[in-house]
Chains A and B, each alone.
Chain A
């Protein structure tokens, strides 16, 4: 009976034009779900930690794999385009940290809210942006997610508030979004992300205080990738236990390279918030392979050996791949297929991003204010005014 089903499935796959799976195994042979042991989170002002035995289904595994691989390839493509000078300006790449974006998204709903700083390409994707839009935004074309006017650091989509250049400034915004969620009573929450460098900004502590005082459904997440630009955490912070820095806010320290760890911790935090207990703080211990931005080689403040070590031992995509393969949840060919499909998607997006036209000059001055009727603004030509529509 199972053979019949699998034959039908294979036939369907071929009819639909999908690549025929050339493997001895059929889909029916794979384990549909498995239990995994994950690292225990360190806790602060909490009685219990998130579970260490977690279940992941095959679908979930494939989805996480595909999403992480897409982010990885997208960032590497951006690196390539930047070196070809097709992307200009600033470009902060997320490769190495994919498990954070994917894990967080797996722990919350698409209707929840998220805000982060400038290392935002991964989150733009997990929050619903398409690779095409993201790449076109990087190259500054009209098909970009911010119409080509924002660039790498300023990407936005529904329930994703950016994409912010000034670090630390996005955290009070996140607390405000959480307030709106509580006020509107829609059972949504807001995830506010910041880095280990920004963790020393004063406004973050102001946000902690307000969120705790008013029991806002806010999850503050510090993505600790060990370096704030070129400064290691030991040289920047009196206390590198970022998950404890919320003091009166309960905290979790999570292995940010393990997507399941991040997912469990996020679910734990989300439940905490949604039950009205107030904010939660999470520290994700993660690592970025690239330098701070494209103008930073990334090796003057850390050794190549360190980067290789992390890549070899804790790469999030490899970890997930190993887990799925060793538990018979997928085959190597299947994962390779996903890789090929992802590569094609990125290539197409890059093609679009390089050929799409730039935004027209008429749009230069739009959306400065909200105004009705159209406003006239002065430009560099003193005798001609430019139109600003919004």
Chain B
């Protein structure tokens, strides 16, 4: 176990024995994989910098939405909010520190442009922010609430689950808070530790009545956010904070929407289906490339985008085609959203499955909270997932 764990330390010399990992028959193969993986090659024993565990891969420039401009993720969010405030006179944005631009610069310039009665700060009270947002939405305003970090959303959990999600149902469609959108920075960032790195989408997936959406890139973020705002259901929009500056793309300046509850197939393949969302998509892209190069395995990569309600059809259709499924996410495995996908897929595609479905998890190496020590972070990346892919293939040989 210790040998396996040491495997993945940054700067571990590549000649460490690999026998701790997997079965003996696999180990030399896996060692080769690790040596060849782009991440291990670039690490030296003296490197202490904590480089990101992925490289952002921009999509092709979209041509169907009009002129585009280079934007990173937080700028694309600003653009979406700008469009909304311009076209919808009832739209208001509020949250902690949004007036000066927000701690992640997502609301820069909006207060000056639209006035302080439309973009305003709230005191430090998440439960109050969401409750207030629900009320504003019920009364007819397009309420866009910001929770400063997804880790702080729990005081508002009662409001979201008990009030927002059930409003329409319990009033027999007389009232609803469909105008409410909650935005929160989400996911690991390298130095966030326990309370600035969480991915709580699984907690909310358990609640009918709300929608949960997670974009992978600036173009997706703007389109999905505008779709959430337009959607007549309360939506939670998680923005991967590590991508705020790292992800740069050409984003259309005009408003456009990307449909919710539609997963996107980023790469067609025939041997295994990879499902992920948010930052993890970029890791999976690397895995797919590595699998093609090293193993000759053709991967089909799907970005789920909307976690709730999720696109079962696209995923199942893909699994019927490939016969194997690997789902990867940042949150802890037990009860993570991958479990829900696994369960549905095995029910729908049981006879098409060639191997057990694999749930893979990036961040919490022991289903525990992210530790404060920088050295204990981020152990294995593409190199681990490639083994999952390889194992998936393996299983059919016997």
Whether A associates with B in a native complex is: yes
Residues of A within 8 A of B (CB): 88-90, 140-141, 146, 148-154, 165-168, 197-198, 200-203, 228-231, 235-237, 300-301, 358-359, 361-362, 364-365, 368, 377-388
Q: Is the CB of A382 within 8 A of B365?
A: no
* Besides A201-B155, A364-B376, 8 other A-B contacts (C-beta < 8 A): A149-B372, A150-B372, A151-B193, A202-B127, A358-B376, A378-B361, A381-B384, A383-B21
State A364–B8 Cα separation when bound (angstroms). Answer: 13
Q: How far is the CB of B17 from chain A (nearest CB, A)?
A: 14
Q: Is the CB of B366 within 8 A of A368?
A: yes
State A384–B27 Cα separation when bound (angstroms). Answer: 13
Please name 16 pairs of A and B residues whose Cβ atoms are closer than 8 Å in the assembled complex, sorted by A. A88-B374, A148-B372, A149-B372, A149-B376, A165-B195, A167-B124, A197-B124, A229-B96, A361-B6, A361-B9, A378-B361, A380-B362, A381-B379, A381-B384, A381-B387, A383-B21
Q: Is the CB of B374 within 8 A of A166?
A: no
State A362–B20 Cα separation when bound (angstroms). Answer: 14
Please, which residue of chain B has its CB at the minimum distance from the CB of A385? B1
Q: Is the CB of A364 within 8 A of B5?
A: yes
Within 8 Å by CB of B124, from A200, A365, A387, lies: A200
State A384–B121 Cα separation when bound (angstroms). Answer: 47
Within 8 Å by CB of A359, from B376, B380, B384, lies: B376
Q: How far is the CB of A236 from chain B (nearest CB, A)?
A: 5
State A346–B21 Cα separation when bound (angstroms). Answer: 43
Which residues from A are CB-within-8-Å of B152?
166
Please, which residue of chain A has its CB at the minimum distance from the CB of B361? A380
Within 8 Å by CB of B123, from A152, A200, A300, A365, lies: A200
B166 at interface (Cβ–Cβ under 8 A)? no
Q: Is the CB of A149 within 8 A of B191?
A: no
- In chain B, residues 343-398, which have Cβ atoms closer than 8 Å to a Cβ of chain A? 358, 360-363, 365-368, 371-376, 379-380, 384, 387-388, 391
Which residues from A are CB-within-8-Å of B9?
361
Q: Is the CB of A154 within 8 A of B372?
A: yes
State A381–B385 Cα separation when bound (angstroms). Answer: 8
- In chain B, residues 90-131, which have Cβ atoms closer than 8 Å to a Cβ of chain A? 96-97, 100, 103, 121, 123-125, 127-128
Please, which residue of chain A has its CB at the minimum distance from the CB of B378? A380
Please, which residue of chain B has its CB at the minimum distance from the CB of A142? B373
B58 at interface (Cβ–Cβ under 8 A)? no
Which residues from B are CB-within-8-Å of A236?
121, 123-124
State A165–B196 Cα separation when bound (angstroms). Answer: 9
State A228–B97 Cα separation when bound (angstroms). Answer: 10
State A356–B363 Cα separation when bound (angstroms). Answer: 25
Q: Is the CB of B375 within 8 A of A359?
A: yes
Q: Is the CB of A378 within 8 A of B21?
A: no
A382/B360 contact (C-beta < 8 A), A359-B376, A364-B5 known: yes
State A200–B196 Cα separation when bound (angstroms). Answer: 21
Q: How far is the CB of A303 from chain B (nearest CB, A)?
A: 16
Which residues from A are CB-within-8-Å of B376?
140, 149, 358-359, 361, 364
Which residues from B are CB-within-8-Å of A202?
125, 127-128, 155
Which residues from B are CB-within-8-Å of A154?
193-194, 372
Q: Is the CB of B373 within 8 A of A359?
A: yes
